[in-house]
C-alpha cells in the first residue's frame, strides 16, 4: 500500500490518518468503511500468483487495514496485529533463546510479568526487574547476554514515567533492543519509535479499541528484518485477530483522539478532587508537578493520560470498601474505554504479582477515567470517599 498517501505522517495529521490511513475506499463499491473480509482463502490467478492474500491466518484485508493504520499512527514502518496484548507480547519474547537475559521495569503489567516469570523463564531465559527511573539500578542489571529491555510508560498501576530516549540509548549501548508497551499512553499521546524504541507493543483492548468490546494486541517496528521475523511468528503461531475484531479495533481508532482528549480533561478534574480529599493520602498522576516522572512525561507525552492511581490513608480494608462503593465508576478490571472503571490492583489485576518485585501497595486504588459527564464522576467518587 505504498501508494496510500494517508499513511504519511509528514503530510497528514494524527486525526486524519486515524480515519484514512490504510483504509482506501472499497474499489468495488466505493464504501468509505473497510469491509469485514471473512474469507479464509483467496483465489489465485496462477499457481502462487495472488493479490497479496492466500490464507486467512497469514493475511487478511481487514487486518491489513488495521495494521497499516496503527503503524502509521505510531509513525512506524511496519505493524502486526495479534489476538491479544499478551500474544503480541509473546511474539516479541519468542525472539529470546536459552541463556538470554531480559530487563523489565519493576512495576510491569501483571500479565506481562506472569508470562515472563512463569512461561518464558522456564525455557532458560533469565530476567531482572528494576526501577527503570534509577540509572544506577539499570546500570547494575546488564549482563553479557541481555538482549531486551521491556518498558511500560506510564506504568500500570503506579503511573511511573520512564524516559524512553534515555533507556533506548542505554539499551543500544549494550546491544539490547528496547520494547515499549504503549498501552497507557496510546500513539495519540506518545510515539516511542520516534524516541528510539525498537518495538512498540499494545493491548488494543484498552484505549485503541476503546469500547470494552474487543480484545486485541499490536506490535509496531521500523526495522524490516524484525518485521519479517514477527510476521513469521504471527503466521507460524497463529495468534491472529478475527476480521471482525480487526474491524472493531479500526473503528475504535477513528475516535481515539477525541475520546482521549475528553478522558484527559475528566482525569484532571478527578485528580483535583482527590488532592483535596482527606481520605486520600497520595495521588499518582504524571500531570502533577510533584509527580516523580512529571518532567519526563512533559517531555515525551502530549498530555498526561486518563489513568489515575491513589492511596487510601485508612489502609487496605478502606480501599476495598471504596472500590465497591461507587456507581458511575464500575468495579472492574481493564481500562481505557469510554466508561469509567475503579479497581483494587493488589486484589485484582496485580494479584499474581504478590510476593514478587512487582507487588503493589494494598491501599492502592486505580481509576480509568472515561467520558461520562464529569460532574457525575466527581459526585460519585466524592460520595464514596466521604463514606469511608
Ligand X SMILES: *Cc1c(COP(=O)(O)O)cnc(C)c1O
Q: Which residues are catalytic?
A: 57, 109, 181, 206
322 vs 312: CA distance, rounded Å:
9
Residue nearest to ligand X (CB): 85
Piece of the chain touching ligand X by CB under 6 A; list 18-26, 107-115, 186-194, 229-237 = 107-115
**Could you give the strand order of the β-sheet that contains 307-312, starting from the edge strand earlier in sequence?**
280-284, 307-312, 364-368, 341-343, 330-331
Q: How far apart are the first and last CA of the chain?
A: 57
Q: Which is nearer to ligand X, 59 or 110 (CB)?
A: 110
* CA-based nearest residue to 135, from 162, 156, 116, 155: 162
Listed in sequence order, the residues at least 6 apart from 201 whose beta carbon sits closer than 8 Å to its beta carbon are 85, 88, 89, 92, 179, 180, 181, 182, 183, 217, 218, 219
Nearer to ligand X, 106 or 152 (CB): 152
Residue from 7, 9, 71, 86 binding ligand X (CB under 6 A): 86
Closer residue to ligand X, CB minimum distance, 9 or 193: 193
Cell triple for 346 = 493488589
Among 68, 181, 245, 343, which residue interacts with ligand X (rule: CB under 6 A)? 181
- Binding-site string for ligand X from residue 232 to residue 271, where x marks contact by CB under 6 A and - marks none: ----------------------------------------
Member of 34, 37, 112, 257 binding ligand X (CB under 6 A)? 112
194 contacts 75 by C-beta, under 8 angstroms = yes
* Span 192-211, contacts to ligand X by CB under 6 A: 203, 205-206
Among positions 61, 192, 217, 287, the unique one binding ligand X when judged by CB under 6 A: 217
- Of 134, 72, 79, the closest CA to residue 103 belongs to 134
Which of 149, 161, 215, 385 is in the footprint of ligand X by CB under 6 A?
215
**Contact string 134-163 vs ligand X (x = CB under 6 A):** ------------------x---x-------
Distances (CA, A) of 352 to 113, 183, 241, 357: 9, 20, 26, 11
Residues lying near ligand X in the complex (CB under 6 A): 84-86, 109, 111-112, 152, 156, 181, 183-184, 203, 205-206, 215, 217
Amino acid at each position: 500500500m505504498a501508494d496510500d498517501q494517508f499513511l504519511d505522517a509528514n503530510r497528514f495529521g494524527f486525526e486524519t490518518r486515524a480515519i484514512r490511513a490504510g483504509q482506501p475506499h472499497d474499489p468495488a463499491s466505493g464504501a468509505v468503511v473497510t469491509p469485514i473480509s471473512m474469507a479464509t482463502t483467496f483465489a489465485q490467478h496462477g499457481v502462487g500468483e495472488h493479490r497479496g492474500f492466500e490464507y486467512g491466518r497469514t493475511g487478511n484485508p481487514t487486518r491489513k487495514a488495521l495494521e497499516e493504520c496503527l503503524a502509521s499512527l505510531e509513525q512506524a514502518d511496519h505493524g502486526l496485529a495479534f489476538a491479544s496484548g499478551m500474544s503480541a507480547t509473546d511474539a516479541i519474547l519468542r525472539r529470546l533463546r536459552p541463556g538470554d537475559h531480559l530487563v523489565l521495569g519493576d512495576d510491569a503489567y501483571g500479565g506481562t510479568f506472569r508470562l515472563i516469570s512463569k512461561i518464558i523463564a522456564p525455557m532458560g531465559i533469565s530476567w531482572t526487574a528494576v526501577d527503570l527511573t534509577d540509572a544506577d539500578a539499570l546500570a547494575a542489571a546488564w549482563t553479557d547476554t541481555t538482549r531486551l529491555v521491556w518498558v511500560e510508560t506510564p506504568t500500570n498501576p503506579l503511573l511511573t514515567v520512564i524516559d524512553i530516549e534515555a533507556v533506548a540509548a542505554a539499551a543500544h549501548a549494550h546491544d539490547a533492543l528496547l520494547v515499549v508497551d504503549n498501552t497507557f499512553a496510546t500513539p495519540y499521546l506518545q510515539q516511542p519509535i520516534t524516541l528510539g524504541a525498537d518495538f512498540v507493543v499494545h493491548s488494543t483492548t484498552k484505549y485503541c479499541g476503546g469500547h470494552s468490546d474487543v480484545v486485541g494486541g499490536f506490535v509496531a517496528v521500523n526495522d524490516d528484518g524484525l518485521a519479517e521475523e514477527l510476521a513469521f511468528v504471527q503466521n507460524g503461531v497463529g495468534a491472529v485477530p478475527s476480521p471482525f475484531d480487526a474491524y472493531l479495533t479500526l473503528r475504535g481508532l477513528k475516535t481515539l483522539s477525541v475520546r482521549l482528549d475528553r478522558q484527559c480533561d475528566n482525569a484532571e478534574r478527578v485528580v483535583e478532587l482527590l488532592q483535596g480529599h482527606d481520605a486520600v493520602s497520595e495521588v499518582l498522576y504524571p500531570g502533577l508537578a510533584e509527580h516523580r516522572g512529571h518532567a519526563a512525561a512533559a517531555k515525551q507525552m502530549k498530555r498526561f493520560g486518563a489513568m489515575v492511581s491513589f492511596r487510601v490513608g485508612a489502609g487496605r480494608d478502606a480501599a476495598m470498601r471504596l472500590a465497591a462503593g461507587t456507581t458511575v465508576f464500575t468495579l472492574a478490571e481493564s481500562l481505557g474505554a469510554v466508561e469509567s472503571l475503579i479497581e483494587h490492583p493488589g486484589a485484582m489485576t496485580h494479584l499474581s504479582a504478590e510476593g514478587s518485585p512487582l507487588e503493589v501497595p494494598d491501599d492502592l486504588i486505580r481509576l480509568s477515567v472515561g467520558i461520562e459527564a464529569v460532574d457525575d464522576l466527581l459526585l460519585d467518587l466524592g460520595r464514596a470517599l466521604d463514606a469511608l
